[in-house]
Amino acid sequence: MSEKTLQKSFVNYAEKAKIEKRVSPHVLRHNFATMAAINGMDVFSLMKMMGHADIATTRKYVQVSGEDLAEQHKRFSPLGKVLRRN
């Protein structure tokens, strides 16, 4: 299967599913990396899984929103833990 054939398949399936955003293997790869990081996968495992030699490459794939960042802060902040005890 050629790259072009695979890309056309993604476009066709996206149309059938009424997905209006751009869909491609590359977009799915970005989404996987972001979701894995948000769900707690450590960055070094993610880097290895994605086949990156440099952590900077993995960093480009992970796009964390402000909401996700706030949630992570709330979950892991030492101050938050202290305040929840009281």
- Structure confidence at residue 83 (pLDDT): 75
What is the model's pLDDT at position 86? Answer: 62
Identify the pLDDT of residue 46: 94
User: Which mean pLDDT values do the consecutive 10-residue runs of the chain (86 residues) have?
Assistant: 87 91 86 88 92 91 81 80 72
* CA torsion through residues 15, 20, 26, 31, sign: negative
Model pTM score: 0.65
